Every structure is written in structure tokens, then in C-alpha cells.
Structure 1
């Protein structure tokens, strides 16, 4: 599958069942202000990763700011997902959480997303090595 720099409808995680399972059984990595909760799972679509983003209302009160942060997070993921697509064999469900209280610039968010995805790769490689 050609990864490219798109974030298509098939790659968006919308299944309430899988999202619930991520929070119940998933592992996580953090790079403040981002946290990635991930779960190795069979996805209904023919994609390696389905991802969703979330910003807590209790941290960011204004809906317009929450929506902007979510847009920036999706864009940062879209730009950097090539870092992981070529290095994984199984399919994963991702949930990106924004833990900060104030808005970051896209450049800062993008850097943190790159570090977070590299940390995720290191984690799954360590898990695979220990088995």
C-alpha cells in the first residue's frame, strides 16, 4: 500500500468498540503534551493503522481552540506517519491525546509528534525483542 501523505477516511478510527478496547487494554507512550495509546488489533479496513485524536475539555475550555489543536495533531500525524508505516508488520489502532493546557505552534507539535512516533517504534521493537 502506498502511504503518501494522506489521512484518508479508512485511516480514521471511528469504532467505539475499538476505542473502548484501546483505553482498557492499550499500551501508551508520552512526549508532553502528547500521549499515544496504541493497541495491536485486527482492523476492519485494509490499513495498517487507524488513528483518532482527542483534546480534553477540562484542559482546553474553548471549542475553537480544541478543534484547532485537533487539526494540528492530525496534520502532524499525516506528515510523519511515514516514520512508522515502513517499520511495522501488524495493524494498530492509535489514540492521540493532548495533555497540555495551552496551545502549541504547529512546529512544536510536529517535533513532539516525531519524537512520540519514534518512541512508539522503540517500544514495539523492545516488546518484540523480549518475546
Structure 2
């Protein structure tokens, strides 16, 4: 079984790529997450996680939510197609902290949505 880690190359960090991601306005919503995505020619998927400060004032809360989203993605990233690669950003939209199971299900819905795009 392959290692289920999030490699450095899978993190979306480039400001240009993030700006391009938001300028294209391709998104999918599955409560409590919104997924901004873009089809790329990269050799791997890249992703980032955002939790707005206006919804969660305390950094401790934002960091916990981001950890949960990254963990949910890490456990399910093997289900993404390898034919088409995406830049994606998960944006947390709920004003409450939700259980990991709800976040896990939302990530699962987004991954199945991405798989249906170019199957």
C-alpha cells in the first residue's frame, strides 16, 4: 500500500496559480465546503485550504478546521483520477465547527464531483 501522505508538491502555494483559480470561477458547493477548482497540465493534484477569519475569529479554531479538512483529503486523495489533474481550494463556509465525519463526507462529494468532470 502506498504512503498516504500529503507531499510538498501537492500543496498549492503559488500566488499566480491561486489568482488564476479564483479568476476562472469554477466551483462546487457541498456543505460545509466550497471547492474552487481548475483543470491543469501539472503532473499531480495540488490543493489548499481556507477558513475565513470573519467566520472563525480564533486562530486555534481555524487551524483545527484546516487540519480536519487536510486529513479528510489525505485519506481520500487516492480516489481522484490520475488522468486529469486539478488545482483546488477547499473553503470552509460554516460558522460553526462541525464534526470530522461531516467534513469527510463533504470532501468525498467534492472528489466524486471532480471524477465525473472528465471521466
**Secondary structure of 1:14's partner?**
coil
In structure 2, C-alpha distance between the alignment counterparts of 1:97 and 1:88, rounded to whole Å: 23
Q: Which residue of 2 aligns with 1:92?
A: 86
TM-score scaled by length of structure 1? 0.83
Q: Which residue of 2 aligns with 1:115?
A: 109
What are the within-5 Å matches in structure 2 for residues 39-54 of structure 1?
39-43=38-42, 47-54=43-50
**What's the CA shift for 1:115?**
1.5
Q: Give the conservation status (yes or no) of the 8 Å contact 1:3–1:82.
A: no
Q: Give the conservation status (yes or no) of the 8 Å contact 1:29–1:120.
A: no
Unaligned stretches of 5+ residues in structure 2:
none
Change (3 A) 1:95 1:3: farther
* CA distances 1:16-51 after superposition (whole Å, capped 9, x unpaired): 0000000001411110110111111233xxx42011
The alignment covers a number of residue pairs equal to 119
In structure 2, C-alpha distance between the alignment counterparts of 1:91 and 1:26, rounded to whole Å: 17
Unaligned stretches of 5+ residues in structure 1:
none
| Farther-moved stretch of structure 1 (95-104 vs 2-11) | 2-11
CA RMSD, aligned part only? 1.7
